[in-house]
């Protein structure tokens, strides 16, 4: 092999700007290559073989460099990363298992949608990360979240006893199913951020009011609810996912209910696609589809007077095919005009929170020139909308932070669909 990269330069800290001018000199493009060895002295294809030997990693070897993935990879637009580039780097000997590239994928799945060779990053990334987790080469901030989730049952490291603290003092009753000691029609799986995050809690209170107004017989698990595990699985912590899934299935087995209602598309995905293999089969519904089926009963009468754009969550839309129902709800809001962003539905741009991205914010900042959520907020502002409507609890906080960091506080507010519905129903929000 050739000379080593100078230890004075940590390539992971070098940020490439697509266009950049320094003291009047245009240094756009791959100027950071100057810090790396120029000549390729070998093709150490063993690194590619290591990936394709993994269960789930096989299709990494199928890439024929058409590069369709790059145009739809959300990360490549804010950094130099994409599936077909991973393949080339593996050919020239990148150790993917210890590479920063391993942690940039948000498992949004848009590359697989357009890939003519069906290179499946949704399988490849978790398979390689699983090995990195076993080796202990996980970015510290994500490792911290793994440990918190294992210990407390939620990635925020909050006390499980306070999981339903958001219901305290609420103007409607939110029963705990263990207290009811009977079957309910709907068991609402609230999830972590709607239980603990201030903005998530506001959305939860709105949804509780909407469900109550509809006369739905519902209850929550309260302190017995844990993280669903889906994002842990995508982030490579398969063991943690299995532990959580088995605990959750055991908890759910204790109670009788017809519908398992989820707030979080990631939980929805887990219950729909991952839990059945472990013996947990439920009639699971996302709250957007649940409410869209009851539009007439909602009694939407208050004028909202707003121009709204909608962000498709990857794990509701692209992964599970739900695109229309959230839009039906928005269009049913009085005085609301729905304006669409550039990349929507199957081609929806990722918020950056999936696949562990929720807990890699600092890491992403080191490797990208912008957060994905910031890129998306700029697209939302471009539509002329005053409201960005979301139906995924990862997004309220991500997008609100992005609205601030891109100086769009005056232009755009971020609201959960349940908050907009509660307002239109004349109910209290917040």
Q: Which residues bind another protein (CB under 8 A)?
A: 18, 29-30, 64-72, 76-77, 80, 82, 84-85, 114-118, 342-343, 347
CB of 119 to another protein, least distance (A): 10
CB of 137 to another protein, least distance (A): 26
Given the complex with another protein, which of 3 and 65 has the nearer CB atom?
A: 65
Distance CA 261, CA 296 (A): 20
Given the complex with another protein, which of 70 and 170 has the nearer CB atom?
A: 70
Among 318, 272, 271, which Cα is nearest to 74's? 318
Write the DSSP symbol of residue 333.
S
Distance CA 15, CA 114 (A): 28
Given the complex with another protein, which of 76 and 416 has the nearer CB atom?
A: 76
3 state SS of 90: helix
CB of 107 to another protein, least distance (A): 19
Given the complex with another protein, which of 73 and 145 has the nearer CB atom?
A: 73
Given the complex with another protein, which of 21 and 147 has the nearer CB atom?
A: 21
Given the complex with another protein, which of 105 and 115 has the nearer CB atom?
A: 115
Residue 257, strand partner residues: 184
Measured over all CA atoms, what is the biggest interatomic distance in the chain, rounded to whole angstroms?
73
Given the complex with another protein, which of 121 and 142 has the nearer CB atom?
A: 121
Given the complex with another protein, which of 68 and 251 has the nearer CB atom?
A: 68
**52 burial type by CB count under 10 A (0-12 exposed, 13-18 middle, 19+ buried):** middle
3 state SS of 337: strand
Please name the residue that has the structure tokens 């700029």.
Answer: 378
Given the complex with another protein, which of 100 and 246 has the nearer CB atom?
A: 100
* Contact (Cβ atoms closer than 8 angstroms) between residue 417 and residue 389: yes
CB of 429 to another protein, least distance (A): 35
Residues written for the chain: 430
Task: Output the six-digit token pair for 118.
Answer: 């069906």
CB of 60 to another protein, least distance (A): 15
Distance CA 213, CA 25 (A): 63
3 state SS of 257: strand
DSSP string over 106-146? ----HHHHH-TT---HHHHHHHHHHHHHHHT---HHHHHHH
CB of 353 to another protein, least distance (A): 22
Distance CA 97, CA 260 (A): 37
CB of 79 to another protein, least distance (A): 11
In Å, how far are 174, 206, 210, 262, 270 from 171, measured between CA atoms? 10, 10, 12, 22, 32
CB of 413 to another protein, least distance (A): 25
Residue 390, strand partner residues: 416
Given the complex with another protein, which of 74 and 355 has the nearer CB atom?
A: 74
CB of 101 to another protein, least distance (A): 14
Write the DSSP symbol of residue 409.
T
Q: Give the β-pairing of 284-286 and 306-310.
A: unpaired
CB of 65 to another protein, least distance (A): 6
Angle at 12 between CA 7 and CA 14, to 5 degrees: 90
CB of 352 to another protein, least distance (A): 17
Among 417, 404, 203, which Cα is nearest to 309's? 417
Given the complex with another protein, which of 68 and 408 has the nearer CB atom?
A: 68
């Amino acid at each position: 092999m050739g000379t080593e990269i100078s230890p004075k330069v940590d390539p992971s800290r070098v940020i490439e700007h697509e266009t950049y001018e320094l003291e009047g000199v245009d240094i756009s493009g791959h100027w950071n290559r100057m810090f790396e060895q120029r000549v390729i002295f070998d093709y150490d294809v063993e690194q590619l073989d290591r990936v394709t030997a993994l269960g789930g990693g096989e299709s990494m070897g199928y890439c024929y460099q058409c590069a369709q993935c790059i145009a739809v990879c959300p990360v490549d637009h804010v950094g130099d990363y994409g599936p077909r580039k991973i393949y080339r780097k593996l050919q020239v000997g990148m150790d993917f298992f210890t590479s920063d590239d391993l942690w940039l994928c948000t498992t949004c799945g848009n590359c697989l949608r357009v890939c003519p060779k069906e290179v499946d990053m949704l399988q490849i990334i978790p398979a390689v990360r699983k090995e990195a987790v076993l080796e202990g080469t996980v970015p510290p901030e994500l490792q911290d979240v793994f440990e918190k989730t294992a210990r407390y049952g939620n990635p925020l490291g909050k006390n499980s006893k306070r999981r339903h603290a958001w219901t305290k003092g609420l103007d409607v009753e939110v029963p705990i199913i263990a207290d009811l000691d009977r079957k309910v029609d709907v068991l609402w799986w609230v999830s972590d951020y709607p239980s603990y995050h201030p903005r998530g809690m506001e959305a939860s209170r709105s949804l509780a009011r909407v469900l109550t107004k509809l006369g739905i017989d519902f209850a929550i698990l309260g302190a017995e609810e844990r993280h669903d595990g889906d994002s842990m699985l995508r982030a490579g912590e398969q063991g943690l996912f299995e532990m959580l899934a088995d605990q959750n299935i055991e908890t759910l087995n204790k109670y009788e209910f017809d519908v398992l209602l989820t707030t979080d598309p990631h939980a929805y995905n887990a219950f729909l696609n991952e839990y059945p293999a472990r013996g947990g089969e439920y009639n699971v519904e996302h709250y957007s589809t649940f409410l869209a089926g009851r539009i007439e009963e909602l009694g939407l009468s208050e004028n909202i007077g707003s121009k709204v754009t909608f962000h498709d969550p990857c794990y509701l839309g692209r992964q599970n095919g739900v695109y229309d129902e959230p839009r039906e709800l928005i269009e049913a809001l009085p005085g609301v005009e729905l304006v669409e962003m550039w990349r929507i539905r199957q081609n929806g741009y990722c918020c950056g929170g999936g696949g562990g991205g929720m807990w890699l914010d600092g890491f992403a900042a080191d490797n990208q020139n912008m957060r994905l959520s910031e890129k998306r907020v700029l697209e939302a502002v471009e539509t002329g909308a005053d409201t960005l409507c979301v139906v995924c609890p990862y997004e309220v906080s991500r997008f609100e932070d992005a609205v601030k960091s891109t100086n769009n506080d005056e232009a755009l507010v971020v609201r959960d669909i349940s908050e907009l519905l509660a307002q239109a129903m004349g109910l209290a929000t917040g």
